[in-house]
Chains A and B, each alone.
Chain A
Amino acid sequence: MGYDLSMRLWRGDAEGGGLEDFTVEVSEGEVVLDAIHRVQATQAGDLAVRWNCKAGKCGSCSAEINGRPRLLCMTRLNDFEETDTITVTPLRAFPVIRDLVTDVSYNYEKAREVPAFAPTPPDADGKRRMMQVDVERGQEFRKCIECFLCQDTCHVIRDHEENKPAFAGPRFFLRYAELDMHPLDTNDRRKLAQDAAGIGMCNITKCCTEVCPEGIKITDNAIIPMKERVVDRSFDPLVWLGSKIRRRDPSDERTEVV
């Protein structure tokens, strides 16, 4: 049942700040976001935190709980002992705006750099045909809720601001791979992934995969195949997808984008 939870929340802004102690009453089944909301409603009305869906669907409430990148709305209090102090800090890889809210515009800039989807024309009846097996891998990647926890955790940028211009990060390697595996896309993004997005800087530590709340196998299913595609132009998507469905080989017909 209900108990008093000790929390330490980072409070401050771009100029600086520090951890502040709060004691807040919590009850059965609650998540960290509930506790933070109660602090907000009763003790610190101006406490800044992002959220929307409260069900792990929107990727707004990303922060670091006891130093680990997590969604506040999907972290249950009963994962901790009642006597534990829970420490919540903003995402470390991004500049803080206020309290638990960071400036994630880096990710939106990287999103703008990905060349758009460019499909083949539809069939004569105006519809498009794709087989379920051919879209499944892309669907796995499109489960991404853009929480940017993978971006936050990736050591290439976590403490290396200088790498940001040249490195799109795991979330966007996912996007490159998704488009590359799309049965109807006509662009060849391999060169771009290597040059501008910096996939070469990734040394497949898999930390991104570990924190992904959607359980997307970012490293194994997107980054590694994409890296292989980049070096090996004769790569065969049939083998890759393990599919028996006949399809055109995109690497022959795709237009390289740079």
Chain B
Amino acid sequence: MAEAETSTEYETHTYDVVVVGAGGAGLRAAIAAHDAGARTAIVCKSLLGKAHTVMAEGGIAAAMGNVWSDDGWPVHFRDTMRGGKMLNHWRMAQLHAQEAPDRVLELETWGALFDRTDDGLISQRDFGGHRFARLAHVGDRTGLEMIRTLQQRAVALGIDVFMECTVTELFKDVADDGTPRISGAFGYWRETGKFLVFEAPSIVLATGGIGKSFEVTSNSWEYTGDGHAMALRAGASLVNMEFVQFHPTGMVWPPSVRGILVTESVRGDGGVLRNSEGKRFMFDYIPEYFKSETADSEEEGDRWYTDKANNRRPPELLPRDEVARAINSEIKAGRGSPHGGIFLDIASRRDAEYIKRRLPSMYHQFKELADVDITAEPMEIGPTCHYVMGGVEVEPDSGASIVDGLFAAGEVAGGMHGANRLGGNSLSDLLVFGRRAGESAAEYATKAEQGRPHVQPELITSAEQDALAPFRIEGGGENAYTLQKHLQEQMQKLVGIIRTDEELAEAQQMLRELEDRATRLKVSGGRVYNPGWHLALDLNNMLLVSECIALAARERTESRGGHTREDFAATDESWGDVNLILTLGDDGHAVLKRQPLPQMPEDLRDLFD
């Protein structure tokens, strides 16, 4: 092994707040921490501006009332809780609904150019599960607008950015009063393979999701659950991990694009789902819970787009878990499309001009990648792993985890979305809780000023050893790409949309085996920009997070939101006030406990009568 491969040199950087992640949540957190006076750094695995947030299409949910003046935070709050099957942390859902409008307006102050209403206000569009048209948007590239705006703001404020830099471990020390607390983090530059150490009292995790552990996914290579895993290893807890969202509409053909997202805006703007017999099958799948607010005829559904007061929403716009399950059933019943999907048709319902203006990137995506003209023919779509509701358990107002100095916001945080997230509620979540976490992290850091934490050298040595392990394997060794592929196939098959006890048990067994094989991961080449090495390190996180999902999914013997059990097909009210909390045991494996769901106060409860 060449000397360069084993070098344990590292650079040290000192900050008040280190934000891990440069998506919407991380950027917003960093801006808030900076504005609160903290010396702040942002660290991210890709180049700045390339995080998942850039891919978001449909919009940002915020009850601004620009299109329907009856909208307001209580309605948004109610929609969010019902969409989440009442398992959301009520306080997060409340803060989210209350603060989202201000956060969107703030983006405009920083240069965002949203689509407008005829009065010149920010336009808002329909999405599944939302009572009113509520999503602020820019065509179908809203995430790009959001990340660019935040990125430009962060750059204008002069916040330090460490890009193409991966954090692998969090450090802790012990405060004078004996409590363990965050002291910093360890990482490597992807471009050089060199190590760095951050000394910081506050760390904000904004690392996004876990979707790369599944075979069919809308998520990129970045989504390996690093933040989830690092939080666990640092002593924090995860909540709601059994809830993984399969978005109903991902591309299915050609195989190369399988899983790539088709935005819900297609349905929000009038698109409908049909099976191979041409039938709008969603009318057969309206659950009791949503009957009173869902149209029961095509005519009523169609009228709703223009007259919301006197009609109910079409069933294509039920929350995502309902639609994904319905599609799954139709395909299973043999009424699928030629390539194993279902048809999503907007061509027969809206004119070509409208489609191109409202959905330009969908038009482009299908044209370029599938040779399909969506203004002339239906799309073939099927469910794709999209979002994890589960994440770090945080204190709603501050984003603080149970570990002093560790905060989380965005997709990596749990609680906000309960059992199922409504479309558009992620981008708003990033802004609302990114800001709150950034502010709290800054405040905590100034309090820690008297006794700033200290990174012990032996922790650094141990983190270095872990990072270099794949270079030190003698003999054969395992290939990271092969292992990852195996993990994805098995997770898809055993812990996918529909689950059973037997399969979940099999998944747990499979994960133990993969974990064992992962100790022998071996990489070729050097440390300079070596994706094989990067993947080998990320894989450990994927395995730990997958273990959490399987464990919690096996425990919850009911179906609710993003968790569907074939052997427990009904929603069971006795599970309605139970959260499953995961922590890391001494043996390095996840430990599960049940915890009562926080109960909302009377005045909010009244909204549901």
Interface residue ranges, A against B (CB under 8 Å): 13, 27-31, 34, 40-42, 44-60, 74, 76, 97-99, 101, 103-104, 108, 111-112, 116-117, 119, 122, 126-132, 135, 138-139, 142-146, 179, 182
- Using A55-B261, A130-B113 as known contacts, list a sample of 20 further A-B pairs with CB atoms less than 8 Å apart, ordered by residue number in A: A27-B256, A29-B253, A41-B479, A45-B479, A45-B523, A46-B523, A47-B531, A55-B55, A59-B50, A60-B50, A101-B529, A111-B152, A116-B153, A119-B109, A122-B109, A127-B122, A129-B119, A129-B120, A130-B120, A132-B115
Query: Are A45 and B368 in contact, CB atoms less than 8 angstroms apart?
Result: no
Interface residues on B, range: 35 or more
In whole angstroms, what is the CA distance A60 to B139 when docked?
21
Most interface-central of A44, A46, A51, A104 (chain B CB within 10 A): A46
Which residue of B120, B257, B528 contacts A55 across the interface (Cβ within 8 Å)? B257
Q: List 29 A-B contacts (CB under 8 A).
A: A29-B369, A29-B370, A41-B479, A41-B482, A45-B525, A46-B525, A46-B533, A52-B50, A53-B220, A54-B257, A54-B260, A55-B260, A55-B261, A56-B364, A57-B144, A57-B361, A60-B46, A97-B529, A101-B191, A104-B47, A108-B163, A111-B155, A130-B113, A132-B116, A139-B139, A142-B113, A142-B145, A143-B144, A145-B54
Q: How far is the CA of A128 from the CA of B108 in the complex (A)?
A: 8
User: Which positions 128-183 of chain B face chain A at CB distance < 8 Å?
Assistant: 138-139, 141, 144-145, 148, 152-153, 155-156, 163
Q: A34-B256, A46-B531 are in contact. Are A135 and B523 (CB under 8 A)?
A: no
CA distance A99 to B115 in the complex (A): 40
- Say whether B152 contacts A53, CB under 8 Å: no
How near does chain B come to A71, taking the closest CB pair, in angstroms? 10
Neighbouring B residues of A49 by C-beta, 8 Å: 531
**In the assembled complex, how far is the CB of residue B420 from the closest CB belonging to chain A, in whole angstroms?**
24
Q: Is the CB of B55 within 8 A of A58?
A: yes
B530, CB-defined interface residue at 8 Å: yes
B604 at interface, CB cutoff 8 A:
no
On whether the beta carbons of A97 and B54 are closer than 8 Å, the reply is no
B105 & A128 in contact (Cβ 8 Å cutoff): yes
Q: In the docked arrangement, what's the CA distance between A130 and B108, Å?
A: 11
Taking CB atoms, residues of chain B closer than 8 Å to A127 are 105, 121-122
For the complex, what is the distance from the CA of A48 to the CA of B529, rounded to whole Å?
6
List of B residues within 8 angstroms of A41 by Cβ: 479, 481-482, 485
Beta-carbon contacts under 8 Å, B105-125 to A: 105, 108-111, 113-116, 119-122
Asked whether A97 and B191 contact (CB < 8 A) given A29-B257, A45-B532, A138-B113, the answer is yes
A12–B384 Cα distance when bound, in Å, is: 37
Within 8 A of A (CB), among B529-550: 529-533
CB-contact partner of A139 in B113, B121, B221, under 8 A: B113
Contact of B141 among A13, A97, A129, A143 (CB under 8 A): A143
Contacting residue for A131 out of B48, B109, B120, CB 8 A: B120
Chain B residue contacts of A29, Cβ below 8 A: 253-257, 369-370
Q: How far is the CB of A52 from chain B (nearest CB, A)?
A: 4
Minimal Cβ-Cβ distance residue in B for A37: B481
A72 CB to nearest chain B CB (Å): 12
B46 contacts A52, C-beta separation under 8 Å: yes
Enumerate chain B residues within 8 angstroms of A130, measured Cβ to Cβ.
113, 116, 120
Q: Is the CB of B531 within 8 A of A52?
A: no
In the complex, A47 Cα to B524 Cα: how many Å? 10
Partner of A52, one of B108, B119, B220: B220
Q: Knowing A45-B524, A60-B46, A182-B111 touch, does A76 contact B368 (C-beta < 8 A)?
A: yes
The reply to whether B256 and A31 contact each other, CB–CB distance below 8 Å, is yes
Q: CA–CA, A52 to B138, complex, Å?
A: 21
- Report A-chain residues with C-beta under 8 Å of the C-beta of B51: 52
A51 to B220, CA, bound (A): 8
Residues of chain A with a CB closer than 8 A to B148's CB: 142, 144, 146
**Which residues of B sit under 8 angstroms from A144, Cβ to Cβ?**
148
Tell me if B47 and A60 are in contact (CB < 8 A): yes
Interface presence of B22 (CB below 8 A)? no
Residue of A nearest to B364 (CB): A56
Bound together, the chains give a CA A31 to CA B256 distance in angstroms of: 7
Q: Which residues of B contact A99 (CB under 8 A)?
A: 529
- If A30-B256, A46-B532 touch, whether A76 touches B55 (CB-CB below 8 Å) is no
Within the assembled complex, what's the spacing in Å between the Cα atoms of A17 and B399? 48
Note all chain A residues with C-beta closer than 8 A to B114: 135
CA distance A111 to B163 in the complex (A): 15
Interface presence of B282 (CB below 8 A): no
A112, closest chain B residue (CB): B155
Interface flag for B276 (CB, 8 Å): no
Decide: A131 and B254 in contact? CB cutoff 8 A.
no
Query: From residue 93 to 114 of chain B, which have CB atoms closer than 8 A to chain A?
Result: 105, 108-111, 113-114
